[in-house]
A and B are shown apart, each in its own frame.
Chain A
Amino acid sequence: MIARIPNQKAWFMVLPVIILVGFNAVIPLMTVVNYSVQETFGNNVFFWEGLRWYEQILHSERFHASMTRQIMFTSIILLIEIPLGIGIALTMPRKGLGATLCLVLMSLPLLIPWNVVGAMWNIFALPEIGFLGHVVNSMGIDYNFTQQPISAWVTIIAMDVWHWTSLVVLLSYAGLSAIPEAFYHAAQIDTATKWQIFRYIQLPKMKHVLTIAILLRFMDSFMIYTEPFVLTGGGPGNSTTFLSIDLVKIALGQFDLGPAAAMSLIYFLIVLLLCWVFYTLMMRNEAR
Chain B
Amino acid sequence: MAEVRLQHIRHSYNANAGEKTEYALQKIDMVWEDGGAYALLGPSGCGKSTLLNIVSGLLHPTEGNVLFNNEDVTSTTTDQRNIAQIFQFPVVYDTMSVHDNLAFPLRNRKMGHAEIEHRVNTVAEMLDLTELLDQRASGLSADGKQKISLGRGLVRSDVNIMMFDEPLTVIDPHLKWQLRTKLKQLHRQVGFTMVYVTHDQIEALTFAEKVAVMFEGEVVQFGTPEELFLKPNHTFVGHFIGSPGMNFLPCELDSGFPVFAGNQIKLAAPITKLNSYKKIELGVRPEFVKLDTKGFPVNITRIDDVGRYRIVKAECSGHNFNVYVPEDIEIPSENLRLSFDPLYTHVYCDGWLHDERKSA
Q: Which residues of A approach B to under 8 Å, CB–CB? A: 180, 182-183, 185-186, 188-193, 196, 200-201, 204-205, 285, 288
Residues of A within 8 A of B78 (CB): 185, 188-189
| CB of B200, distance to nearest CB on chain A (Å) | 19
Please tell me if B139 contacts chain A, counting CB pairs below 8 Å.
yes
Total of A-B residue pairs, C-beta within 8 Å: 54
Q: Give the CA-CA distance A220 to B87 in the complex, in Å.
A: 41
CB of B108 within 8 A of CB of A288, answer no
Task: Give bound CA distance, A205 to B138, whole Å.
Answer: 11
Contacts of A190 in B (CB 8 A): 104-105, 108, 152
B245-270 to A contact mask, C-beta < 8 Å, 1/0:
00000000000000000000000000
A189 and B84 contacting across the interface, CB-CB below 8 Å: yes
Interface flag for B149 (CB, 8 Å): yes
How many chain B residues have a CB neighbour from A under 8 Å?
Answer: 26
Contact in complex: B108, A185 (CB < 8 Å) = no
**Interface: B93 (CB within 8 A):** yes
Q: Which residues of A contact B96 (CB under 8 A)?
A: 200
Chain A interface helix/strand/loop/mixed: helix
B93 touches A185 (CB 8 A): no
Interface residues of B (CB under 8 A from A): 56, 58, 77-79, 83-85, 87-89, 91, 93-96, 104-105, 108-109, 136, 138-139, 149, 152-153
Please give, as numbers and ranges, the residues of chain B lying within 8 Å of A204 by CB-CB distance. Answer: 93-95, 138
10 shortest A-B CB distances, which residue pairs? A182-B87, A190-B105, A186-B91, A200-B93, A204-B94, A191-B108, A204-B95, A188-B78, A191-B79, A288-B139
Min CB gap A179→B, angstroms: 10
A-B contact pairs, 18 of them (CB 8 A): A180-B91, A186-B87, A188-B79, A189-B79, A189-B83, A189-B105, A190-B104, A190-B108, A191-B105, A191-B109, A192-B108, A193-B108, A196-B108, A200-B94, A200-B95, A200-B96, A204-B95, A205-B94
CB pair A182 B88 closer than 8 Å: yes
Chain A residues within 8 Å of B139, by CB: 288
Complex: A288 Cα to B83 Cα, angstroms:
32
Residues in A whose Cβ lies below 8 Å from that of B79: 188-189, 191
B106: nearest residue on chain A (CB-CB)? A190
Cβ-defined partner of A182 (8 Å) among B77, B83, B91, B138: B91
Interface centre among A189, A196, A201, A204 (most CB of B within 10 A): A189
Complex interface: chain A residues within 8 A of B149 (CB): 186
Q: Complex Cα distance A190/B138, Å? A: 18
List residues of chain A with CB within 8 A of the CB of B95: 200, 204
A180: contacting residue among B89, B152, B153, CB under 8 A: B89
Known interface pairs A285-B136, A288-B139; A189-B93 also in contact (CB < 8 Å): no
> Given A191-B108, A191-B109, A192-B104, A186 and B85 touching (CB < 8 A)?
yes
Q: Say whether A288 contacts B136, CB under 8 Å.
A: yes
Chain B residues whose C-beta falls within 8 Å of the C-beta of A180 in the assembled complex: 89, 91
Per the bound structure, the CA–CA distance linking A188 and B95 in Å amounts to: 18
